Each structure stands twice: as structure tokens, then as C-alpha cells.
Structure 1
Amino acid sequence: MLADINQYSKDNGLPAMDNKSYRDIGAKPAEFSDEAACQFPSGWQGEQSFDVDSVHTTAPEANILYVGGFNCGGGLDVAMSKILDGKLANIVSNSYGNVGEALPQDVIEGTLNIHLQAAGEGIGLYFSSGDNGDQAAKLGYASPDFPASSPWVTSVGGTSLEVDKNNRYLFETGWGNRLNKVITNPDGSKAYAGPQPGPVQGGGAGGGVSAVFDQPVYQKGIVPDSLANGHRVSPH
């Protein structure tokens, strides 16, 4: 990982990192479990590298501690607990989540206990809002992803803001890809099935109204009642 981030830094004019500014205390290969279910160690390598590179880009002078889990289930909670128990960071960036919120109650409660510990210690937890919009294409109904929907974490999506030459607000749009279907006409020519950019959600920042969590006090009066309907809304 250190070699990767330094190559990225070289390519983008960022300061190099060393064994003091970047540390890795994640699980060792001999400790990995459920490798097939977790798409094998290399399955998440690109995501992990991207996350570390993004942190370094955002805060080039910050120290980075990488803590990887021994699997993509309970191992992530163990990794998080290691950070919190040792007070090893004041900001924890996480780029994983469930598809929606349909999880056993004991799993949700166990994860929330970790979130509450972080809040009590003043450690900020930041979770990606997801990659598939409101998940309706996968689930058949709209849903945010957990743990990003937890009221004790900050759900981070992606939004592009458009301003004019005088920096006045014009509009904003959530990050995502739209796909269009290509059809064959009777004469053999090709055409798009509908107007561009197309009707199919091809990935993008997630979010929505939680079916599990009530509206936290910090969103009351901020998020419109017509949207929240008394529930937690993410991303922030």
C-alpha cells in the first residue's frame, strides 16, 4: 500500500509518505478467513488503495493509519474496535456497507454499540453512502445502506455543485452514471432506446430515508418533514 500511495503521490504532485506518516496494522494474510465470500484479498485491493489515495489527496500532511479486517463481516467490527479501544485516530473513513438495511437486529445493535463508543470518545466515523443510488434496482424498493444510515455516523455521498463566473449557485447534482439501452431498428440501424443519458441507474452515490432509524435531533428542522417523515435521512 505504501508503494502504491507514493506512486500516486509522485504522479499527482503530493508529498511522499514514509513508515512514520503511514502505518498498517491490519490483519495479516495468515489471519484471513471467508476469502471466497469476500472476493479474495485482491478483490478489495483497488477500493482500499483508492480510499488511502483519496485521504492523502484531501489532507496531504495528515498521518494515515490503515486497519484492515480479517474478513468482510465481523472482521470489520474487530478492526474498528481496535481503533476505538486504542484511540488510534480521530477520524475513521470506511468504504463498505450492506445493500440496504435488511440485517438481523443483533447485527445492527452490535454495530451501533461500536458507533456509540466512537461518539462517546469523540471519534468521527464516516461511511460511504453506497454505489447504487437508492438500491431500488437491486432491492425493488428504495433504501439507504447500513451502516451509512446509522444516526451516529456521517454518511458521505458525492455531489457536484455548479456556479457561475461570479460564484453564484446554479444547481447541484448527485454523482452517478446513467445507462441507455441500444436497440436494433427494423432496417438494421442502431439507436438508443430513450433520450440520453438514459433511464437505467448504472451506479452512483446512495442514500435515502431509513426504515430502521428515527430522525435524529440534529436533522429536525433541517431536513424537510415531507422527506424525512420522522426518520433518519442520509447522506448528510
Structure 2
Amino acid sequence: MSTSARAVLAAALVAATLPATAAVAAATPMIPLHHMAVQPAPLPTDQCVAQLARHCYSPAQLQAAYDVTPLHAKGITGTGRTIVIVDSFGSPTIQHDLEVFDKQFGLPDTQVEVLKWGEVPPFDPTDSDQTGWAGESTLDVESAHAIAPGAKIVLVETGVAETDGPVGVPEMMSAVNHLVNAGEGDVVSMSWGTGERHFPGYEVGDYTSLTTQRYAFQNAAKHGVTLTASSGDGGGAQPGLGGFWPSSDPLVTAVGGTHLNLDNAGKRLSADSAWSGSGGYVSQVFDRPSYQNSVRSVVGAKRGTPRRQHGRRP
């Protein structure tokens, strides 16, 4: 993989580790960035901790923490590469929100290409599903742009909310397959997922309703397109409850979350620690791929997730 491709993959990994949709949808309704005043300068981390009792990290700090800064210094920013982000409904203010984000943190502007796949309903600010997905879309796009500011970003908006089980999944897989066939996308980032056990037939060992959705991933693998997905934000599952798909799919890089402890310059003050909410599962559907043979004592005969860990704190 080339260095520019690695920069794009890092961006997609950061985007994929953001909270899964179910948790975002249940949160306080999103306030679009165009309704928020731009501060003269973002608070540094030490002041965030003192005033807000939380760690606030800028794009520059995350770039330093994940050693992306040297790549940017060499002009390797993802230019010529495309990150595809797949979310239900999307956000009606995504371009303006990204421009505010870029201005706030000194990032170059870029035009987000929005692909509406299917019948995407008009945005309803009173619909918690739509506002939740709008927040998810904004997080995903801004995170990807922060790590790979030169990459093209395509936001795919589907018209059916992805929920537990197969609802919304066919639309997403159809969109991914279309973009792969069109040669559009080097990395596909998916910050969503659903439990394997929620697919019809799971309880009787019939996984057809899930495995028939893999055609888009199989096509992506043939075309050399990297797939990343969040391992979820519900913590580890009990044995036998199955994995969190699509991160449980062997064709997908599963991304979990960690706590970062950085100073104002992005240097680590301590080692990363596992975030207790990060999803961790052993699939009941997929066998252990060969690349996990070194951890067979942990995952057994089945695919284990996550495979990569990235910072959870904003």
C-alpha cells in the first residue's frame, strides 16, 4: 500500500471508530454548526480539562498522535484518493459544517460530493433518527478530512435508516457496490453496524439473510478497495451472542476505540487505554481468517473484533 493510501486509510479508520448510530440517535438532538458561533480559537486540552472536565483534541493533535504530521510535511495528504462514507439520511448542512470546522482549525476547504441513493426524505429536525444520522455524518466527514485533508470525500446518503437487523442494509450495500463498479473510492468507511443475531435465521444457524449482503464487500475486495467499520460502542458481548456486522466480516477492517491522553501538542502523556464501551466480539457467522491465526488462543475458531484501535476521545 502506498503512503498516500495509508494516509487515507488512517482517516477512514478514525472515522469508523466513531460511535455507532444507535447511540448517536439516542443522544441530545444535534445543533448544526452553522447555528454555533465560531470561537476566536479552540480551547487547548489543558483548559478543556480544567473548564469542561473532558479532553478536547484538535485535528493537529490527532495528526501528531497517529504520526500523520510527517506525511503531511512531505505533501502526502491523500490527494488523488477518495474516501467514501456511507450513512443513512446524511446531513443537509454538511458542506457548511465542514467549512466552519476547517476555518476553526486551519484546514484547507474541500467540496464534499453527496450521493443520494434511493428516495432520501427531506430533512426533519424533529426526527431523532435523522438528527442522529446527521451528527454521525458530520463526525465522519470531519474526522476523515482532518487526517487526509487532500482526499476527495464522497458522502453516500441512503433513504432507509440502518437499524438492528437487515433494515437499511440492502440500500447501503447497493450503494457501495455501485461506487466500486464505478471506480469511485479507495476506502469505504462505515461507522455503523448491527448484531449478527438480529438477522432472520440466526437462531437456527441459517445465516443466509446476512451472507447474501456480502456481495458488495466481495466486489470491493476484487477491486482492491479497503473497507473499514466500527466495532460498535456497546462494550464486549457475552459468548454466543455473535458479532457486530459489518465489522465482523473478514473482508472488513474492524476498528475499536481507545482513550488518548495527549498534551496540547499531541504528545502522549501515558499509554493508550482501551475504552470500555468499544465493541469486542467473536463472530458466530464467520470463521477465523488466516490473518488472525496468531491470536487463535483468544478468538478460537471464529473471527474476532476489533482488529485496530483508534482514539475515542474528541
TM range (shorter): 0.7 to 0.9
SS class of match (1:87): coil
Distance verdict in 2 for CA 1:7–1:119, change over 3 Å:
same
Structure 1, unaligned stretches of length 5 or more?
177-203
Structure 2, unaligned stretches of length 5 or more?
1-93, 162-167, 201-206, 308-314
Distance verdict in 2 for CA 1:123–1:174, change over 3 Å:
same
- Matched residues, number: 194
For the pair shown, which has the larger CA radius of gyration, 1 or 2?
1
Instruction: Name which structure has the greater RCO, CA cutoff 8 Å, separation 6+.
Output: 2
Find the aligned partners of 2:102 and 2:268 in 1 and give their Cα distance: 33
Find the aligned partners of 1:168 and 1:46 in 2 and give their Cα distance: 28
| CA displacement 1:130-185 (0-9 Å, x = unmatched) | 0111245xxx965431111000111111124679xxx9997542224xxxxxxxxx
Distance verdict in 2 for CA 1:6–1:174, change over 3 Å:
same
Match of 2:216 in 1: 114
Two-structure CA RMSD over aligned residues (Å): 2.9
| CA displacement 1:9-43 (0-9 Å, x = unmatched) | 1112211123xxx2111237x5449x9xx954333
Find the aligned partners of 1:80 and 1:14 in 2 and give their Cα distance: 28
Q: Which amino acid aligns with 1:86?
A: A
Match of 1:217 in 2: 290
> Aligned match of 1:146 in 245, 253, 261?
245
Q: Which amino acid aligns with 2:103?
A: K
Q: TM-score, normalised by structure 1?
A: 0.72
8 A contact 1:175–1:205 mirrored in 2: yes
8 A contact 1:99–1:135 mirrored in 2: no
- Bigger proportion of residues as strand: 1
- Bigger proportion of residues as helix: 2
> Aligned match of 1:125 in 227, 232, 238?
227
Match of 1:11 in 2: 104
Matched, 1:65 2:154: yes
Find the aligned partners of 2:173 and 2:227 in 1 and give their Cα distance: 13
Identity %: 31
> Aligned match of 2:117 in 4, 27, 32?
27
Residue 47 (structure 1) shift: 0.5
Residue 109 (structure 1) shift: 1.4
> Aligned match of 1:81 in 154, 164, 177?
177
